[in-house]
Amino acid sequence: MFILKFANSDCWIAPWEGDPGRTLVRGSAKEFKSKSQAKSFADKTIKENNFRNFSLVIEPK
C-alpha cells in the first residue's frame, strides 16, 4: 500500500472531498494498492489544481 504526502509539510492526501482533501493524521491518508496508482492520482490531482503550487511524494504505508 502507498500514500501521498505533500512535499513541503506533514500533510497527506485524504479519501474525502477537497481541493485536494487533506489530513494531518498519517493513518487517515488515502491508500493506493500500487505505486503506479498513487502516481496516476498525484499527476491528476496536480493537473486539476494547477492554480496551487504544491508537489506530492509517494510513501509506503
Residues 1, 7, 27, CA angle at the centre, nearest 5°? 40
**Every domain of the chain and the residues it spans:** 2-60
Q: If you compute the radius of gyration of the chain from its CA atoms, what whole number of angstroms results?
A: 10
pLDDT tens string 5-23: 999 999 999 999 988 999 9
Over residues 21-51, the pLDDT tens digits come to 999 999 999 999 999 999 999 999 999 998 9
Q: What pLDDT, on the 0 to 100 scale, is given for residue 59? A: 97
Name residues whose C-beta falls within 8 Å of residue 52's C-beta, 6 or more positions apart in sequence.
19
- The whole-model pTM stands at 0.91
